[in-house]
Structure 1
C-alpha cells in the first residue's frame, strides 16, 4: 500500500489526555475514501509508526480525523503526537485499511471502553442512518476522560449509556450479554480486560456475533516453544530458513524482499500474507477463530509454522 502525505490542520483536546487530529491533503484534494471501522497508519517519525481509527464522517472527503490518547506507559507514539506534532506539520500516512467493518445486521450492540470509542463513532452514525436498532454502552475511568460522551448523549439520547467507573463501577456486561439476542451484531473496542470479558460473555451467542478490534496484543497468544522451519516464497522463488529467534518478517526483510508491515505485534493486519501450503501457528490478535482454522492467511510479524515448511505468496 503506497504512502501519501497529509497535513495536520487542527489539533484540539476532546477529553482529559485525548487529542483529536484533523488531517487534510496539502493540495486540498479529497482524502482517501473509507468506511466505518477503518484505520490509517501515521508515520510520525523515523521508525515511529502507529495505527489510529478514523472517527470522523466517511462522507466528508475534506479531512480525516483521529483521536489519540496519551499513554504514559506506551511506546512513544502518543507522546510524540501530544508533545511534538504541531499544526501545519506534514504527516506521511498509509491506508485507510479496514479490519473491523460494520456487517449488515438487524440490530447492533456497541460496547466501548475508553479510547475504544473512536472506531465506534462512525459505526453508530451508520447504524442510525440505516434505521437499524442499536445501543451504545460506553465505559471509562471517569467522565472527564471519556471523549465524545456528552456529544453522543446529546445527539442520541437514551440509546447511549455512559458508565464512568468512578461513578457507576464497571460496564454491566453480565446484564448486557447474559442472554443471546438473535440477529444482533456486537461490536467491542477497548482495553484487553474488556475485550476478554466480552469474548467470555458472547461465548454462548451465535458464532460470528462478536466483532472486536484490539489496540494491543491479546494476552493469551500461543507462546509455545519456537521451532525453526522453512518458508518458500512462491513469487520470489526463494526458500529461507526461519530460526527460533526470528520472525518470518525479519527473515524475509533481511533477504531483501520488500514487505509492508507496521505494528509488528499482530494487531494491525498490514503484513497479512496468503498461505499457499502448510499450517500456520497463529499468534496474532486479529484473525477470527474461523479464519485461523481456515489457515488461508497469516500475520508474518508474529505467527509461525506448525510444521517444517510453509509456502507463502511472497
Structure 2
C-alpha cells in the first residue's frame, strides 16, 4: 500500500547538470531555505510544470541530505510527458512540487543478497536503494541495460561500485537476458525499474519463488475490462451513488460531480489517486499494486481501475 504526501511546496533549482545524452539532473532546494521532508529509497515527487502538466520523477540523491533533492529527467520523443518543460529549467528557476511519496519502498535485507535491475532512466529510484544496500552490508549487484554509452547517466557514481555493477549496452553486446538473470537470482529479491519490455520480460521469467518488485515509468497497455457494462460507485460519506459508464474512468466521474480526488499521472503508474474500497470487487488495471497487494489491499487507483461487480463503495 502506498504512502503519499500531498503538500505542495516551492523549490528552487540550485544545480542543473547534463548527465548523459538527453538526460538532465536537477538539484532542488526549498525556496525558503528550510530542510526538505524526509524520504526513503524508492520515493518520488510530482513536479508541476505547467497549468495541466504534472509528472513524477524518482528521487535519486541521498535520503540523509535534507538540504536538496535530486531528480533526473529524460527528454522524451516529440516533447511528450512534460520533459521539455523540465529540461528548460535553469539554475535559479522556481518550480512547485508535491511529495515525496512512495509506491516502491525498499527494505535492505538483513542477510543474503539483493539484485537490482535497471533499464535506461529506470536507474533513478535504484540509486538510493543501492546506497542503502551498501550501507547495510548486503551482497548486492546491479544489472543496468542501456541503449548506448551516450545514454549512461551517473557514470562516476556507478563506477565507484566496481564489479558489483554489470552494464548491458545493447548497441555493443546485445540485450540483457532477463530469463538468465531471474534464474541466477535464486531466492534473492529483485528490484527492477525500466521500460515495459524489460519489466514484462522479468515478469514472464519469474516463478512462484521469485521475489520480484517492479516500478514502471510507462503506462500499461490495458486489457479489456472484466466488466464492460456501466457500474456504480457509492460515496460512503454521503451515500450518493454515481454511475460510471464504460467509456469513462471512476476519477473522471468523481471530478464531474465535484468530488475531490487527488490525482496526477492518470495512467495508473504513480499511485496518487489511491482510494480505499469499503465494499465490492475491483478490476485492478494499474501498475502500482503487486499481485499480492491486489488480493489483500483494500484500495484501487481510480484513474484506471474499475469494478468487477455492479457497485463499489468508496471511502469518499
User: TM-score when scaled to structure 2?
Assistant: 0.94
RMSD: 1.5
Which sits farther off after the overlay, 125-134 or 285-294?
A: 285-294
Q: Which residue, 253, 260, 263 being the options, matches 1:261? A: 263
Distance 1:73 1:282, change over 3 A: farther
Partner of 2:3: none
1:175 shift after superposition: 2.4
Distance 1:238 1:118, change over 3 A: same
Partner of 2:50: 45
The reply on whether 1:86 has 2:93 as its aligned counterpart is no
For 1:96-111, list aligned pairs within 5 A: 96-105=100-109, 106-111=112-117
For 1:139-288, list aligned pairs within 5 A: 139-153=145-159, 155-179=160-184, 181-182=186-187, 184-206=188-210, 209-219=211-221, 221-223=223-225, 226-288=228-290
Judge conservation of contact 1:113–1:140 (CA < 8 Å) in 2: yes
Partner of 2:64: 59
Q: What CA distance in whole angstroms lies between the structure 2 residues aligned with 1:198 and 1:25?
A: 38
Judge conservation of contact 1:278–1:307 (CA < 8 Å) in 2: yes
Judge conservation of contact 1:53–1:118 (CA < 8 Å) in 2: yes
Q: Counterpart of 2:168 in 1: which secondary structure?
A: strand
For 1:108-119, list aligned pairs within 5 A: 108-119=114-125
- Once the two structures are superposed, residues 189-238 of structure 1 have per-residue CA deviations (whole angstroms, 9 ceiling, x without a partner) of 111100001111222434xx100001112235444563211100112432
Partner of 1:34: 39
Which sits farther off after the overlay, 172-181 or 234-243?
A: 172-181
**Unaligned runs of at least 5 residues, structure 1:** none
Distance 1:272 1:255, change over 3 A: same
Runs of 4+ aligned structure 1 residues displaced above 6 Å come to none
Judge conservation of contact 1:276–1:311 (CA < 8 Å) in 2: yes
Q: What CA distance in whole angstroms lies between the structure 1 residues aligned with 2:184 and 2:72?
A: 33
User: TM-score when scaled to structure 1?
Assistant: 0.94
Distance 1:221 1:66, change over 3 A: farther
Q: What CA distance in whole angstroms lies between the structure 2 residues aligned with 1:277 and 1:175?
A: 42
The reply on whether 1:290 has 2:292 as its aligned counterpart is yes
1:73 shift after superposition: 4.2
Partner of 2:128: 122
Q: What CA distance in whole angstroms lies between the structure 1 residues aligned with 2:266 and 2:208?
A: 32
Distance 1:107 1:180, change over 3 A: closer
Q: Which residue, 141, 144, 163 being the options, matches 1:138? A: 144
1:255 shift after superposition: 1.1
